[in-house]
């Protein structure tokens, strides 16, 4: 019997100035999460500002999801949490790493979880991250360092949990043809988009910001998407181990609610064991 695990990555645009409030953006993103109901969601930019909202994105989907309670000591906030469907998954292990290189407000980090699908016992590792963002020389060097720290974690988890597949989600702030992702690929990590057996995506995952209606204070002008999925900086990657996993779909979600919520479209993949 095959088992399908739906994995999503989603940058929520929580690192935003006071002039760009959260407003109704979280409500729209919650609609997307509930509509596609991924088993796990790797989130980025879940800032203190984002968490301080009375109806923040995590509380809005609490009926379906729990946050991986990774120990982030001594850091004050986890900007890269993982949400998981607690009705179908159990959490067997977890961890958190804050990147040592350039790191604005400690927002660039890794959260990981070892999950078990309850009905089949299928296990997988989900590793979620956000790489450093500037496009200058220090920023490019930082992203390479991010990949080296990622590989150190991958090797540790592979030794501890041999043969268990790993799914990576994140805003890597670079394309898959750039050096930081190539470093991961050289060590047996694959881009899910290139492994996709379904319809290929046609758009880029990131774009401009949604527009705010100054009279209502709500975001009601959808962001305009761009063509060129090869230019995406948000990625789902996979390390197979010795488990047969097929990437049945790779979808960049450009629903209206997504385009009213953030400057990054969520991406999901269906992974069939």
Domains of the chain, by residue range, sit at 4-272
What H or E segment, with its residue span, contains residue 149? Answer: helix 137-160
CA distances from 76 to 106, 171, 232 (A): 9, 21, 30
pLDDT (0 to 100) of residue 19: 80
Q: Is the dihedral of CA 254, 7, 9, 22 positive or negative?
A: positive
Find out whether the peptide bond into 205 is cis, omega within 30 degrees of 0.
no
Q: Rounded distance, CA 162 to CA 141, Å?
A: 31
CB 34 within 8 A of CB 3: no
In angstroms, the first-to-last Cα distance of the chain is: 9
pLDDT in tens, the chain (273 residues): 799 999 999 999 999 988 889 999 999 999 999 999 999 999 999 999 999 999 999 999 999 999 999 999 999 999 999 999 999 999 999 999 999 999 999 999 999 999 999 999 999 999 999 999 999 999 999 999 999 999 999 999 999 999 999 999 999 999 999 999 999 999 999 999 999 999 999 999 999 999 999 999 999 999 999 999 999 999 999 999 888 999 999 999 999 999 999 999 999 999 999
pLDDT (0 to 100) of residue 215: 94
Tell me the whole-structure pTM to 2 decimals. 0.97
pLDDT (0 to 100) of residue 250: 98
Return all residues near 101 (Cβ < 8 A) that are at least 6 apart.
132, 141, 142, 145, 146, 149
pLDDT (0 to 100) of residue 243: 85
pLDDT (0 to 100) of residue 17: 87
Q: Which CATH number fits domain 4-272: 3.60.10.10, 3.40.50.300, 3.30.70.20, 3.40.50.1220?
A: 3.60.10.10
pLDDT (0 to 100) of residue 213: 94
Residues paired with 93 in a beta bridge: 114
pLDDT (0 to 100) of residue 131: 98
pLDDT (0 to 100) of residue 20: 85
pLDDT (0 to 100) of residue 1: 77
């Amino acid at each position: 019997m095959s088992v399908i695990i739906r994995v999503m990555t989603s940058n929520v645009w929580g690192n935003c100035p006071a002039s760009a409030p959260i407003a109704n953006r979280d409500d729209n993103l919650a609609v997307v999460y509930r509509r596609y109901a991924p088993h796990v969601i790797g989130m980025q930019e879940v800032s203190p500002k984002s968490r301080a909202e009375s109806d923040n994105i995590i509380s809005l989907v609490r009926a379906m999801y729990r946050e991986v309670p990774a120990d982030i000591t001594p850091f004050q906030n986890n900007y890269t949490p993982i949400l998981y469907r607690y009705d179908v998954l159990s959490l067997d292990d977890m961890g958190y790493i804050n990147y040592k290189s350039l790191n604005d407000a400690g927002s660039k980090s890794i959260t990981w979880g070892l999950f078990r699908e309850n009905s089949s016992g299928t296990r997988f590792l989900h590793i979620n991250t956000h790489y450093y963002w500037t496009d200058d020389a220090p920023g490019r060097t930082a992203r390479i360092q991010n990949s080296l720290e990622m590989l150190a974690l991958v090797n540790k988890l592979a030794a501890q949990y041999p043969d268990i597949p790993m799914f990576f989600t994140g805003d890597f702030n670079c394309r898959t043809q750039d050096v930081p992702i190539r470093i991961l690929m050289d060590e047996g990590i694959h881009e899910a988009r290139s492994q996709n057996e379904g319809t290929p995506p046609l758009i880029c995952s990131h774009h401009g910001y949604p527009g705010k209606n100054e009279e209502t204070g709500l975001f009601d002008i959808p962001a305009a998407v761009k063509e060129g999925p090869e230019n995406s900086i948000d990625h789902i990657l996979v390390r197979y181990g010795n488990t047969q996993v097929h990437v049945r779909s790779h979808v960049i979600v450009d629903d209206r609610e997504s385009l009213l919520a953030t400057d990054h479209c969520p991406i999901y993949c269906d992974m069939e064991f």
